[in-house]
C-alpha cells in the first residue's frame, strides 16, 4: 500500500476535474493541464477530493500509484497558483532582457544568447539579473529553468554564471604558488 497514493487530493471550488476513461483534464483560474493515466491506475472524484487508486494490483501499479497521485496533486496546485522557479545571474556584465517572447542573455560570449519561450511558460525579469519561470506544469517549469541554467552553469572557481536562487555553489580553491617570485 502506497503511503502517498492513498492520500486524497483536496480540490477547491475554483478547480474542476473532467475524467474521460484514462484522460484527466484539470482546469483552474491559472490554466489547464491534462494527463493520460496508465491502465493500472484509476482516478475518481469523491466530494471535494480527487482519489487515485490501483485498478489491478501488480508490482507496476504499486510503483506508479504514488507517482501519479503526486503528479495530479502538483497539477491541482499549479492550476490554482502557478509554479515558480527563480534563477539568478552572477558575474560582471552578465545580464538578461525580456524582448517579446524571448530572453536575450549577455553571458560573456562574443554574441548574445537567445532563449525562446516555450508554450505554457511565462518569464519575468527583475533587475536584469533575476529570472522567474512560471507555469501550471511543475515538470515543465523545472525543465525550462534547468535549460536556462545550462546556458552558463556556475563556474567552479568564482561562481559566475546562472544559478537557482538560494543555490549554494561549492567553490574550488585557487592554485597556490610554491616558492617566491617567478624566476
**DSSP H helical segments within 32-118, as ranges?**
59-80
State pLDDT tens for residues 152-164: 888 888 888 898 9
> Residue 159 has what pLDDT?
83
State pLDDT tens for residues 16-49: 888 888 888 888 898 888 888 888 888 888 888 8
> Which residues have C-beta within 8 Å of that of residue 181, sequence separation ≥ 6?
none
CA angle 27, 29, 33 (to 5 degrees): 30
63 and 101 in a single domain? The answer is no
State pLDDT tens for residues 44-68: 888 888 888 888 888 888 888 888 8
> Residue 84 has what pLDDT?
93
87 and 127 in a single domain? The answer is yes
Whether residue 32 lies inside any domain: the answer is yes
73 and 107 in a single domain? The answer is no
* DSSP-derived secondary structure letter, 114: E
CATH code assigned at 30: 3.90.930.12
Cβ contact 169:154 at 8 Å: yes
Whether residue 107 lies inside any domain: the answer is yes
65 backbone dihedrals φ, ψ, rounded to 5° = -60, -55
Q: Which of 59, 80, 101 is the last residue of a domain?
A: 80
Full domain range(s) for residue 47? 9-80
Whether residue 170 lies inside any domain: the answer is no
Whether residue 182 lies inside any domain: the answer is no
State pLDDT tens for residues 95-153: 999 888 898 988 888 898 898 989 889 999 989 889 999 999 999 999 999 999 998 88
Domain count, the chain: 2
157 and 88 in a single domain? The answer is yes
Amino acid at each position: 500500500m502506497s503511503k502517498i497514493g492513498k492520500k486524497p487530493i483536496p480540490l477547491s471550488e475554483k478547480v474542476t476535474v473532467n475524467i474521460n476513461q484514462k484522460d484527466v483534464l484539470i482546469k483552474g483560474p491559472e490554466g489547464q493541464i491534462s494527463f493520460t493515466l496508465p491502465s493500472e491506475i484509476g482516478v475518481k472524484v469523491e466530494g471535494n477530493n480527487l482519489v487515485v487508486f490501483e485498478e489491478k494490483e501488480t508490482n507496476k501499479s504499486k510503483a506508479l500509484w504514488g507517482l501519479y497521485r503526486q503528479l495530479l496533486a502538483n497539477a491541482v496546485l499549479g492550476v490554482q497558483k502557478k509554479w515558480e522557479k527563480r534563477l539568478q545571474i552572477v558575474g560582471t556584465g552578465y545580464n538578461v532582457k525580456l524582448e517579446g517572447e524571448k530572453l536575450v542573455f549577455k553571458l560573456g560570449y562574443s554574441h548574445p544568447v537567445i532563449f525562446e519561450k516555450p508554450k505554457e511558460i511565462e518569464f519575468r525579469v527583475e533587475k536584469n539579473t533575476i529570472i522567474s519561470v512560471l507555469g501550471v506544469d511543475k515538470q515543465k517549469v523545472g525543465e525550462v529553468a534547468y535549460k536556462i541554467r545550462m546556458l552558463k552553469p556556475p563556474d567552479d572557481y568564482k561562481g559566475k554564471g546562472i544559478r537557482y536562487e538560494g543555490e549554494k555553489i561549492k567553490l574550488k580553491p585557487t592554485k597556490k604558488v610554491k616558492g617566491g617570485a617567478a624566476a
